[in-house]
Amino acid sequence: MIHLMEGGVCAAKGFSAAGVHCGIRKNKTKRDLSMIYSEVPASAAAVYTTNLVKGAPLIVTKSNLANGRAQAVICNSGNANTCNANGIEIAEAMCGLVGDALGISPKDVIVASTGVIGQPLDLAPIQAGIPLLVKALSPEGGVTAAEGIMTTDTIRKEVAVEFTAGGKVCRLGGMAKGSGMIHPNMATMLVFLTTDAAISSEMLAKALKTDVADTFNMVSIDGDTSTNDMVSILANGMAGNAEITTDGDDFAAFMRALNTVTVGLCRMIAGDGEGATKLLECKVTGAADLGVAKTVAKSVICSSLLKAAMFGADANWGRVLCAIGYSGAEVDVNRIDVAFTSAAGTVAVCKNGAGVDFSEEIAKKVLSEKEIVIEVGLNAGNVSSTAWGCDLTYDYVKINGDYRT
C-alpha cells in the first residue's frame, strides 16, 4: 500500500533541507537558494533535458554523478547559468562551496540553476548564502527549500509517500519547480526526489529513466523545451531494507511509489502553467501501441488552438481531431471517440470521427471547471497513455512579454 504524507524532500529519514534569500533575486521577500542534504552518502541518478543547449549545472552534475553517488543538492533561482563563458567554473565553484560547508566531496553535490538565460551569475551572493543555508538545514525545511527554487511558479510543488519494501517502511518524496518553457522531453523544470529506501545506483537510474518517459516527458505548457531541466533522485538506504539490486517485488513497489510522487508533481506543474486557469489531462485509450498513444496524447495537449478553446470553455472538439491528424501517429480517424470530463460531468462530443449532438450548456459547465480531462478513444488496441498541460490565456503572453525585465 502507498500512503500520501507531508514532508516533501524531507519525508524520508536522514534528509534535511533549507531555502534562503541570498541576493541573486532583487526581491528580498523571495528565497533564491536551496539545499538538500543527506546524513549519509546516497545512491543517485538524474535525467536531463534533450535540448542541445544545456545549462552549465547540468554538465557539472552529470560529471559528478558518474559514480552513481551524491550527498547534497544546491540550487539557485533567478539565474539559469546558461550560455555563460564561465558557467562551468561557477557551477563547479558552487559544488566546492557546498563541499567545504558540509565537509563532503564537491563531487558528491548535485548543482542546479533556474531563471534567466544568458545573464552572468555572480558567485558572491551564493558564497554568502551557503553558510546561512547550512545553519538553517532542518528535517522540516522542505517548505523553504521548495520556495527557493520557484521562478514564475505561483505554488510550492511537494509530494511524499510511504510504502513497504523488503518488509521495511520506506518513504519517498520530492519537490519541483516549473511553470513555463515546459514541453515533452522535459522543460524549465527542476525536480528533486529523495528516498530512504536502499537501492543500487544502477536500479535507481533504471527506475528514474523508465518513470520519466511516462510522466515528466508527457507534460507541456507552451511547446518550448528548456535548457536547464533535470530530474534527480537520492536514495540513502536509511529505511534499512535489503538493497534493491534486481527486478522483483521490491523494485515494483519502489516504482509504484516513485510514479505516485512524479504524477502528483506533473499535475502540479501543468496546473500551475504560466497564466493558466485550468489543468488539462489528455487520456488516450485503445491505441495499437504505446508510441501511438503517447504521440496522440502529446499532440492534443500541445495544441495552442485547443488550449485556447479550453480557456474559453468552448467544446471545440474539432481541434482535438485536428491535433491527432497532424501528430504523425497512424490512426484510423473514422474510429476516434472524444469526450470532455470534469467534476461537473462528462459530455461526449465525437463518435467514430464524427460529431454527435450534445448540449452546449452542459459542455460549458463541464469545461468551466479547474480540471478537465480530454478523453480520446482510438478503438484500435488496448494501450493507453496520459499527458498533462494547461489552458492558454492572456496572462501567458503578459508574463513572457517582460520576463527578462
Catalytic residues: 188
Q: Where are the beta strands (DSSP E) in 135-238?
A: 157-165, 168-177, 190-195, 230-235
For the purposes of burial, counting CB atoms within 10 Å of the CB of 318, is it exposed (0-12), middle (13-18) or buried (19 or more)?
Answer: middle
Give me the torsion for CA of 387, 388, 393, 397, rounded to 10°: -90
The enclosing H or E element of 76 equals: strand 69-79
CA distance 229 to 274: 16
| DSSP-derived pairing of the beta strands 279-287 and 371-377 | parallel
Integer Rg of the chain from CA: 21
Q: What is the DSSP string of 88-146?
A: HHHHHHHHHHHHHHHTS-GGGEEEEEEEETT----HHHHHHHHHHHHHH-BTTTHHHHH
Cell 474559453 found at? 312
